[in-house]
Chain A
Amino acid sequence: MSSSVLEAREERWAKKIALARDLAADSSGRPSSLAVLTLRMPAFLRISGRFSPNALSMHASFVALLRKRGIGILREEFRTSGDGPESYISVSLDPLELKRLAIEWETTHPLGDLADLDVMDASSKPITRSDLGFPPRKCLICENEAAVCSAGQRHEAAIIEARINQILLASEKTDRAVDSAIGRLALTATLYEATAAPKPGLVDPLSPGAHGDMDYLTFLASAAALGPWFSEFAKLGRLHKGQPRDLLPALREAGKFAERDMFAATGGVNTHKGLIFSMGLLCAAAGRLQAAGRSPDPAACVSEAAAIVRGISERDFALLEPRAAAAAVSIGSRAAAAGAPAVQGAARGLGAATGNPEAVADNPAAASAHTPTVGERLYLAYGVRGIRGEAEDGFPAVIDHALPRLKAGLAAGLSWNDAMIDSLFVLFTTVDDTNVLGRAGREGLNFLRAGAGRVLMLGGMTTPDGRGAIQAMDKLLVERNISPGGCADLLALTVFLELLATAGDAAAGGASATAGTSAAGGATAAGGATAAGGATAPSSA
């Protein structure tokens, strides 16, 4: 054993005793204790640096577990000494309870076998597994006590190293399963939204709405192309270690590739450009929550997403100001030529913030070479921040309006389809949909709102009058070339947040059963209930 390792251990020991003394000095009278996490592997591996990222994520995961249990954390520190990575966590908790949580974490975390979580009370006394009646820990290789094998060096270093690699691989597989679970729910939500009918002005299985260049199958092909990307966004979120806002460039980069795949799948039609941005963002947010050991409830997801995009509209739109006049003219001419490729290409983009890397460039020369996205042009013309603003504000239209309506509808026994359509109409009445603004101006938006308000007053999907009004509205919107694609995207986000929250720990644990079940159940409902009402549900599988 090298002397630097032995010295580093003595230093750690002295630090532990000093921290315990700090706990004892606190006169609040509350119980307190200290946990210290180190890597459980031979010293040559511990100090190799190879496992430092794992040690940091183990530390974060244990701290997250403590927070989840409502335990007050007095102090935490992660550092690397001559004996490898080590972390110190002082908490307001009885030492035996802390040891119990430490054992729980060691037993349940995919990398728990590679960590030693030592617990000490305020009098510097180590709490052991036997204090709680637990047997000694087992060796990584065989069924014997770990202490016996390690003291006697019973296994060759190469065999231990191979076993550790195996544990890491298994853990990565679990992580990937979580990414996939998040991506699958995002894809499910995208398909639910596409399938929900009738959606006035929008593409659904019954009608292509106000679109001549795409239909329901185009949306299915597009969704299929995006499924793997949603998992990729979740992975980017999960792996990101720094500040939330530093994640955005990587998401935009991935977003460009997702767009490329979307266009390839749709033959060049923009079906989901806006959704790639907003759903990608929420997937990344869910991935980050997962990495922090937090449950992906809707409020946590949207606030994480908002943190990632904080300041985005100020940054993106600031570059546009000098060209405002010219761009406003171009909006007018394009709006007049509704149906022309430029406008159709923007059909569903609620101001896609993906795929415009120039927009984040700091120098004006680069900015002036940039062709504004729909969202940027609409900001210039109407001052609306579109999907950027919605994301920055934590998706208030979703959290405050659409999601409560969806939940209420489902709780009242509505089919997924009908609950989604009602939720969509709530969005129609509250959102400044840049797709509508782009194609039909402020007047079109007012028309949509008035119609949607009337539908909701008549009872929406729950009454024959409401359903009749929805049918009539479809015709009117098509005539006026109004397609509220921004609202449709927000509906998909709403569905995603609901699925994610209800799949909950199943998704977080990498299990697929819950997600799969709810997907199948919902698909039946979505496919079945249409405006015709009472149409029998086609079997979903």
Chain B
Amino acid sequence: MEIRKSATAGTLESSDVLVTVAPGSGPGVEFKVESIVIKQFGKRIRSVTEEVIAATGIKNAAIHVQDRGALECTLRARLETAIARAAESA
């Protein structure tokens, strides 16, 4: 899957997460995670993000995860949607 444009999924509401996916500058995927529960769930959020990136097979992307305490299933769905939207032709 190729990232063609910048796209978002989710919201900055409580128990949700806003994921922004944009074309990256390098060959790999870089991602940045912010969370109001980073202390408790930072590791888990990163590993879920890496998992989804691997599963979709994207390269050359910059991903920004702004978490407001989303459930893991919500995070997964938001990541997948944001990536799918960013991969649509512009």
Sampled A-B contacts (14; CB under 8 Å): A9-B10, A9-B11, A13-B10, A40-B14, A118-B13, A145-B37, A147-B15, A147-B37, A148-B37, A148-B40, A148-B69, A150-B71, A151-B15, A151-B67
Per the bound structure, the CA–CA distance linking A116 and B14 in Å amounts to: 8
Per the bound structure, the CA–CA distance linking A40 and B12 in Å amounts to: 15
Contact indicator A152/B77 (Cβ below 8 Å): no
Report A379 CB to chain B, min CB distance, Å: 59
Give the bracket for the number of chain B residues in contact with chain A: 20 to 34
Contact indicator B11/A12 (Cβ below 8 Å): yes
| Chain A residue contacts of B37, Cβ below 8 A | 145, 147-148, 151-152
Which residues of B line the A interface, CB within 8 A?
Answer: 9-16, 36-37, 40-41, 67-71, 73-74, 77-78, 81
Report B78 CB to chain A, min CB distance, Å: 7
Per the bound structure, the CA–CA distance linking A13 and B36 in Å amounts to: 19
Contact indicator A150/B69 (Cβ below 8 Å): yes
A123-136 to B contact mask, C-beta < 8 Å, 1/0: 00010000000001
A326 within 8 Å of B (CB atoms): no
Contact indicator A10/B40 (Cβ below 8 Å): no
Per the bound structure, the CA–CA distance linking A10 and B81 in Å amounts to: 11
Contact indicator B70/A3 (Cβ below 8 Å): no
Report A312 CB to chain B, min CB distance, Å: 48
Per the bound structure, the CA–CA distance linking A147 and B45 in Å amounts to: 14
Contact indicator A10/B71 (Cβ below 8 Å): no
A1-39 to B contact mask, C-beta < 8 Å, 1/0: 101001001101100000000000000000000000010
Residue count of chain A within 8 Å CB distance of chain B: 21
Which residues of A line the B interface, CB within 8 A?
Answer: 1, 3, 6, 9-10, 12-13, 38, 40, 116, 118, 126, 136, 145-148, 150-153
| Chain A residue contacts of B67, Cβ below 8 A | 151
Given contacts A151-B69, A152-B41, contact A6 B15 (CB under 8 A): no
Task: Give 10 closest A-B pairs by Cβ, nearest first.
Answer: A147-B69, A13-B11, A151-B69, A1-B74, A1-B73, A151-B37, A148-B40, A148-B37, A147-B36, A147-B37
Contact indicator A118/B77 (Cβ below 8 Å): no
Contact indicator B15/A13 (Cβ below 8 Å): no
Report A248 CB to chain B, min CB distance, Å: 42
Q: How many A-B residue pairs have CB under 8 A?
A: 60
Given contacts A118-B14, A147-B14, A147-B15, contact A6 B68 (CB under 8 A): no
Closest A residue to B70 by beta carbon equals A151
Report A119 CB to chain B, min CB distance, Å: 12
Report A513 CB to chain B, min CB distance, Å: 38
Contact indicator B41/A151 (Cβ below 8 Å): yes
| Chain A residue contacts of B9, Cβ below 8 A | 10
| Chain A residue contacts of B78, Cβ below 8 A | 6
Report A229 CB to chain B, min CB distance, Å: 44
Contact indicator A10/B73 (Cβ below 8 Å): no
Per the bound structure, the CA–CA distance linking A446 and B69 in Å amounts to: 76
| Chain B residue contacts of A150, Cβ below 8 A | 15, 69, 71
Report B52 CB to chain A, min CB distance, Å: 15
Given contacts A1-B77, A6-B74, A6-B77, contact A13 B12 (CB under 8 A): yes
Report B66 CB to chain A, min CB distance, Å: 11
Per the bound structure, the CA–CA distance linking A136 and B15 in Å amounts to: 13
Per the bound structure, the CA–CA distance linking A116 and B69 in Å amounts to: 14
Closest A residue to B14 by beta carbon equals A116
Closest A residue to B16 by beta carbon equals A9
Per the bound structure, the CA–CA distance linking A156 and B73 in Å amounts to: 17
Contact indicator A1/B71 (Cβ below 8 Å): yes
Contact indicator A151/B12 (Cβ below 8 Å): no
Report B80 CB to chain A, min CB distance, Å: 11
Report A94 CB to chain B, min CB distance, Å: 20
Per the bound structure, the CA–CA distance linking A420 and B2 in Å amounts to: 85
Report A419 CB to chain B, min CB distance, Å: 55
| Chain A residue contacts of B73, Cβ below 8 A | 1
| Chain A residue contacts of B81, Cβ below 8 A | 6
